[in-house]
Amino acid sequence: QGEIKYVANGTMPAASSANVGSNLLLNQSGQYVFQSFVDGKPVGRSAKLDVSFHKGAGKKITLSTEPAPQYRGSGNGSVLNGVIGSNQRYNDAEWLGFAGKDVVAVIDLGKPTALKQVKLRFFNNPGQWVYAPKQVQVSWGKQEGSFGKVLSSKVEVGKDNIVTSNLNLKNAKARYLKLEFSNYGEIPAGAPGAGSRAWLFVDEIVVE
């Protein structure tokens, strides 16, 4: 009889690892790896799931513009569900894709919350017209629609598909976070899609 085993530390499960069972509850952050076993031997490919239990996970999010129908993940909450998207592709259930538009996201944490930083992930693949934003901005407040200090950061792009940007909130206390992602804009001459506006893909917004 087959069983599915798992670990939460990113290594490969063994026959002696914990059994998934019928009511698995993930209650800690980590890189979960799942593997099927038959008669104590691994069968088929393993599956990985990066989970982050952060202060924004499961909270309400409002977007200024809806993602493209073909790149809407599992809904707008995909970027606040605690699950990190793929590093290799942007069309899984965790990424949201926006065609040529800036994006403003407002997160309601439910109550005033002590905040240290916001960690952002974007996809960057110019060959497929996908560019990380040029700039990100965050502001916060205790009342809906009222945001105080604004922090901006230029997004640094390297050679990897994944581009990250961390915004230090310096122990602020707020209920609402407003994040603004500036679309790259027009794709430059000589690049695939030159003259068109770039795609913007956003992954998990990690609030700590």
Element (H, E) at 117: strand 103-123
Mean pLDDT, residues 179-188 taken together: 97
**46: which 2 tokens?**
């393993």
Inter-residue contact 160 to 110 (CB < 8 Å): no
Mean pLDDT, residues 140-151 taken together: 91
Whole-number CA gyration radius for the chain:
19
Confidence of residue 27 (pLDDT cuts 50, 70, 90): confident
- Return the pLDDT at 31: 86
User: What percentage of the chain carries pLDDT values higher than 90?
Assistant: 78
DSSP assignment of 137-181 equals EEEEESBTTB---EEEEEPP--SSSEEEEEEEEEEEEEEEEEEEE
Mean pLDDT, residues 20-34 taken together: 81
Query: What residues contact residue 169 under an 8 Å CB cut-off, 6+ apart?
Result: 115, 116, 117, 118, 138, 140, 151
Confidence of residue 90 (pLDDT cuts 50, 70, 90): very high
pLDDT tens sequence across 31-51: 899 999 999 999 999 888 888
Residue 1 predicted with pLDDT over 70: no
Confidence of residue 25 (pLDDT cuts 50, 70, 90): confident
Residue 138 predicted with pLDDT over 90: yes
- Return the pLDDT at 147: 92
CA distance 28 to 8: 8
Mean pLDDT, residues 5-18 taken together: 90
